[in-house]
Amino acid sequence: MIVFPHAKINLGLHVISRQGIVRDTDDGVDGRSGQYQYSRKREDGGHIQDMDHTDNGGHKADTYNKACGGHREERDNKEDGYHTVETVLYPVGLYDALEVVPADDQKTRLTVSGLTIPSDGKPNLVLRALDLVVEELRRNKKALKGKEIPPVHIYLHKCIPAGGGLGGGSSDAAYMLMLLNERFSLRLSHQKLSAMASALGADCPFFMHNQPMHATGRGDCLQPISLPALKRFHLLIVIPPVHVDTATAYKQIRPKKPASSITAILQKPVATWQEHLVNDFEAVIFEKHAVLGAIKTALTTHGATYASMSGSGSAIYGLFPTPPPDDRFKKMFPGTQVINSHPPVS
């Protein structure tokens, strides 16, 4: 069974406040519900112990925050925090491919092809999604009538660049949850899957909806938003070979209450967005990586009605009323990846 996880961009991003909580665990949900926490330690010595991970480039970095802003900071004293944000998450017609098939050799294995995924020393998010589902089946064996997931081979082909604020890893994880639920007829509710997705990353629940969403809280409190005007625009995404350390960016940013909500700004003509629709990270990130600011300026200079950084970067996108000159940007910024899409939402 094959599914196609999609990318996204952020339309504006306000970092409003930082909330502190105290935890005893390492990786997990943000502490508001506490329902799911990820751990590779398994009391029954089950699924994950037999896992043979054959990744071609490692794992996705900054898995708890990319793009939607639901970021957790980890300290030696285990006092973690997350930032409350406001943003609009907008699906983009750029896709990975994810397939799960039964494992004839009885060993669960992940094979990654396509673009390289930078290593952060943690398991790939699709493996973490699998582990959460297996744990859910173990804990609720009676209610789920003894359903199990046999050893599987997972094939992930990466077309969404990692570390660009496009949410590729989070999308892969969300689609993995949905794929397992359908492939093995688990009948887990959408609410249950969303809670599990939130444990993997604040923006993961968004990818269970193929529509624009207004995101608040950690970025996982979602409400649909209609933006029909964008269907008339062409989307150009420029991704330079720049790594943005998201944890550092969150430490440097000063949360503040915005003058206007993003939803109010987005109801105005797109021609007014450049002046009012702001990504709070740009001031911090552009100071350290001047090329990102230069790309944004180049996009508006060459016809973009609106240009912005997606999430905490490093992808910069522009909305053009006519087909944009993608070759020009490749020549202007050698080494960058340029993605052209129309319409922006698929």
Catalytic positions:
8, 203
Per the document, the length of the chain is 346
Residue 276's Cβ-side half-sphere holds a number of Cα atoms within 13 Å equal to: 15
| Cα–Cα dist 242/141, whole Å | 46
